[in-house]
């Protein structure tokens, strides 16, 4: 599923809501415009529109993998380090540091301008890029590097793909190693 255009959001959100209902996925309550705006003002950012609409219309988080109940789409209010939200995300292509874990400097760079969506353990997370040229895309971050989910996806495409493929989702199937 691709990066959707704003004119596609209504249809995509309708499919997501239908999928959530059909699969009986318990969602956290939707957020109010005031809650989202307060978060944005506090951190001096504007959330990508697809993610923003998801929070306002679908829900503020959920558990994503049946086999791993601790894996959850984090609520916006989650206690997260936020000192780098407004800093520009510095990458446009994947970056692999090598066989050694990321240096502290590189780790700090890959977290600039991102919002953690889900921590899947073993040093791996999915991050929503909220600043820079890849704003709106979901990237994977691990101790060896960072890469976009392939095919490149925005939040709505990333979530819809999970709804379609469930626990068997392969966000890297098209990645050109």
Chain mean position to CA 100: 25
**pLDDT value for 32:** 95
Q: Which two tokens stand for residue 47?
A: 């959330």
DSSP at 27: B
Confidence band of 139 (pLDDT split at 50, 70, 90): confident
Confidence band of 36 (pLDDT split at 50, 70, 90): very high
What is the Cα–Cα distance from 28 to 97, expressed in whole angstroms?
A: 36
**pLDDT value for 120:** 74
What is the Cα–Cα distance from 7 to 11, expressed in whole angstroms?
A: 9
Chain mean position to CA 42: 20
Percent of the chain with pLDDT over 70: 79
**What are 90-124's pLDDT values in tens digits?**
888 877 766 666 677 777 777 789 898 887 766 67
Cα dihedral 9, 14, 19, 24, rounded to 10, equals: 120
What is the Cα–Cα distance from 138 to 115, expressed in whole angstroms?
A: 9
pLDDT of 163 above 80: yes
Quickly count helices (H) and strands (E) in the chain: 5, 7
CB 59 within 8 A of CB 30: yes
pLDDT of 54 above 80: yes
Chain mean position to CA 105: 22
């Amino acid at each position: 599923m691709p990066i959707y255009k704003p004119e596609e959001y209504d249809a995509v959100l309708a499919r997501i809501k239908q999928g959530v209902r059909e699969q009986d996925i318990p969602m956290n309550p939707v957020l109010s415009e005031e809650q989202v705006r307060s978060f944005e003002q506090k951190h001096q950012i504007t959330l990508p529109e697809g993610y923003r609409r998801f929070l306002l219309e679908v829900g503020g988080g959920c558990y994503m993998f049946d086999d791993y109940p601790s894996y959850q789409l984090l609520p916006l209010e989650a206690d997260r380090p936020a000192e780098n939200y407004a800093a520009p995300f510095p990458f446009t292509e994947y970056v692999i540091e090598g066989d050694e874990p990321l240096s502290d400097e590189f780790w700090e760079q890959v977290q600039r301008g991102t919002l953690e969506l889900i921590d899947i353990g073993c040093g791996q997370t999915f991050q929503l890029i909220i600043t820079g040229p890849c704003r709106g895309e979901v990237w994977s971050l691990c101790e060896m590097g960072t890469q976009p989910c392939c095919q490149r996806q925005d939040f709505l495409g990333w979530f819809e793909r999970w709804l379609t493929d469930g626990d068997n989702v392969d966000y890297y199937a098209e990645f050109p190693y």
